[in-house]
Amino acid sequence: QKEVEQDPGPLSVPEGAIVSLNCTYSNSAFQYFMWYRQYSRKGPELLMYTYSSGNKEDGRFTAQVDKSSKYISLFIRDSQPSDSATYLCASAYMDSNYQLIWGAGTKLIIKP
């Protein structure tokens, strides 16, 4: 079992819809949770990060962490065709070998 699981999709939704992207993780020691966006043929770029449980909002994006169920979510409101990309979740915990554990990424397609 991978430490961070993510449905690869693709997830196809119409423009303007609310998108929900999700990951589950198995290691209860994870404290940091990130969402990266990767456009085709480009490197990933950090969208949002959260520490521990709760919600974090940035414009049209909301990241949510539920540590009790080990569930990570990214919501995109008023989705745009430019949001079409692969979204990767990543988790980490603080120790001397801090490193990100990555999900496989979900391909999102926003149809005009």
Nearer to other proteins, 3 or 78 (CB): 3
Nearer to other proteins, 51 or 71 (CB): 51
Nearer to other proteins, 37 or 83 (CB): 37
Q: For residue 8, give the nearest of 26, 22, 27 by alpha carbon.
A: 22
Q: Are residues 19 and 107 in contact, defined by beta-carbon separation less than 8 angstroms?
A: no
Residues near other proteins, by CB under 8 A: 32, 41-46, 49, 51, 88, 94, 97-105
Q: Are residues 6 and 103 in contact, defined by beta-carbon separation less than 8 angstroms?
A: yes
Output the smallest distance, CB 28 to other proteins, in A.
Answer: 18
Q: Are residues 11 and 21 in contact, defined by beta-carbon separation less than 8 angstroms?
A: yes
Output the smallest distance, CB 103 to other proteins, in A.
Answer: 7
Q: For residue 80, give the nearest of 57, 106, 107, 111 by alpha carbon.
A: 111
Output the smallest distance, CB 64 to other proteins, in A.
Answer: 17
